[in-house]
């Protein structure tokens, strides 16, 4: 099968995307496919049109690649593609809109305040502290990989919070500020394809950020920046609870094929509490990425995972009549 693996673009996460694309291309070639990396940009439509591709595999992160724009182009061109559609992608990347979907599904969330461009950072910082307390996390609404995110600890000054708000507004015109929930970092990957039995949660992973006090950009992507334990060491009932919440979050956004759902596990007076942080509709596929690791732990090697995903995408498009019938190689 000829597969276009789409990478890069204008996002701040473009270089990470290219590393993901390299991993996907290698896995697809190992599985016997003709995988070609294409750059997300003005020439993408022409490259897709001239390349006789049967399936596209977005390995893009952030603006234009993960927010529904690329997915809309592929829909218009009638090209089968891996991953969530336009609406789920656009909702998932926008932390504020995603939280509305999660709240409607009665998923456990941290308390939050939303700020918009044009707000007074000084006054907003005072309001945040009154409503959420001194320890918060400041996030641009539509960035991934912890770009523009600043944790504010209880010991940090009012000026530090003001600076964090200004910094987040430099990345986005909407900023989400959440109460800082401390605890264990967990993530649960979701695989949603017929070949492996439909919607299922892969083993839960615990993340240890060894070189930082939180899971920042360097912890995610630098070699040695973090350690993962998969499966996470959790009581069986709690392990299943995290998996159930991951599937519910995947459904709440209307995701398809794959996603990765991030959580914090904290200890409250009533016992362990799981807080949903976000859903990644295009999980990273680099050498240090969590999704391939969880799939491997579930007995699905990376090359087979990528093979399953492209076959599933083509079958879905054929069933919908979106592409011409193309024999699927066995």
Whether pLDDT at 1 is above 80: yes
Three-state secondary-structure class, residue 35: strand
Statement to judge: residues 123 and 40 lie in one domain = no
Size (the chain), residues: 330
Confidence at residue 286, expressed as pLDDT on a 0 to 100 scale: 82
Confidence at residue 329, expressed as pLDDT on a 0 to 100 scale: 44
Confidence at residue 328, expressed as pLDDT on a 0 to 100 scale: 43
CATH value at residue 143: 3.30.1490.20
Distance CA 293, CA 59 (A): 16
Confidence at residue 296, expressed as pLDDT on a 0 to 100 scale: 96
Confidence at residue 266, expressed as pLDDT on a 0 to 100 scale: 96
Tell me which of 164, 179, 194 is where a domain ends. 179
Statement to judge: residues 100 and 240 lie in one domain = yes
Statement to judge: residues 209 and 272 lie in one domain = yes
* pLDDT band of 226, cuts 50, 70, 90: confident
DSSP 8-state secondary structure symbol assigned to residue 148: T
Whether pLDDT at 212 is above 80: no
Residue 325 within a domain = no
Residues 6+ apart with CB under 8 A from 133: 154, 179
CA angle 323, 84, 247 (to 5 degrees): 135
Distance CA 267, CA 273 (A): 6
Q: What is the pLDDT of residues 15-38, one digit of tens each?
A: 999 999 999 999 999 999 999 999
Helix 236-253 / helix 95-104 crossing angle, nearest 10 deg? 110
Statement to judge: residues 174 and 208 lie in one domain = no
Residues 6+ apart with CB under 8 A from 67: 89, 90, 93, 94, 142
The arithmetic mean of pLDDT across residues 304-323, rounded, is 91
Total domains in the chain come to 3
Statement to judge: residues 163 and 212 lie in one domain = no
Tell me which of 157, 179, 201 is where a domain ends. 179
Q: What is the pLDDT of residues 162-210, one digit of tens each?
A: 999 999 999 999 999 999 999 999 999 999 998 888 999 999 999 997 7
Whether pLDDT at 301 is above 50: yes
Maximum average pLDDT range among 6-15, 142-151, 181-190, 204-213: 181-190
Statement to judge: residues 269 and 235 lie in one domain = yes
For 312, the domain range is: 2-82+307-320
DSSP per-residue string spanning 161-230 = HHHHHHHHHTT-SEEEEEE---SEEEEEEEEEEGGGTEEEEEEEEEEE-TTSSS--HHHHHSTTS-EEES
What are the catalytic residues? 13, 145, 221, 260, 262, 278, 280, 284
Confidence at residue 92, expressed as pLDDT on a 0 to 100 scale: 96
**Lookup: tokens for 278:** 């976000």
CA angle 156, 154, 173 (to 5 degrees): 70
Statement to judge: residues 46 and 132 lie in one domain = no
Distance CA 135, CA 146 (A): 17
Residue given tokens 């991951």 in the structure block:
246
């Amino acid at each position: 099968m000829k597969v276009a693996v789409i990478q890069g673009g204008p996002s701040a996460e473009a270089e990470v995307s290219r590393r993901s694309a390299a991993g996907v291309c290698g896995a697809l070639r190992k599985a016997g496919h003709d995988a070609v990396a294409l750059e997300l940009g003005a020439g993408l439509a022409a490259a897709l049109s001239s390349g006789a591709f049967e399936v596209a595999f977005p390995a893009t992160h952030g603006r234009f690649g993960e927010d529904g724009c690329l997915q809309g182009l592929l829909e218009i061109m009638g090209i089968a593609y891996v991953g969530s559609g336009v609406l789920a992608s656009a909702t998932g990347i926008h932390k504020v809109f995603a939280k509305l979907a999660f709240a409607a599904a009665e998923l456990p969330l941290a308390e939050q305040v939303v700020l918009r461009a044009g707000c007074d950072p000084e006054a907003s910082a005072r309001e945040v502290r009154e409503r959420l307390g001194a320890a918060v996390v400041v996030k641009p609404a539509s960035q991934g990989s912890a770009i523009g995110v600043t944790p504010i600890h209880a010991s940090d000054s009012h000026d530090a919070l003001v600076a964090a708000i200004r910094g987040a507004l430099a990345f986005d015109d909407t900023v989400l500020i959440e109460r800082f929930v401390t605890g264990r970092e967990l993530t649960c990957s979701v695989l949603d394809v017929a070949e492996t039995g439909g919607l299922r949660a892969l083993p839960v992973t615990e993340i240890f950020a060894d070189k930082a006090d939180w899971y920042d950009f360097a912890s995610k992507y630098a070699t040695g920046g973090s350690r993962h334990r998969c499966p996470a060491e959790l009581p069986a009932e709690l392990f299943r609870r995290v998996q159930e919440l991951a599937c519910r979050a995947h459904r709440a956004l209307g995701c398809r094929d794959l996603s990765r759902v991030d959580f914090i596990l904290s200890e409250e007076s009533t016992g362990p509490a799981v807080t949903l942080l976000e859903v990644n509709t295009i999980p990273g596929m680099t050498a240090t990425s969590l999704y391939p690791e969880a799939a491997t732990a579930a007995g699905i090697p990376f090359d087979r995972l990528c093979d399953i995903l492209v076959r599933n995408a083509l079958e879905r498009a054929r069933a919908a009549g979106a592409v011409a019938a193309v024999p699927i190689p066995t």
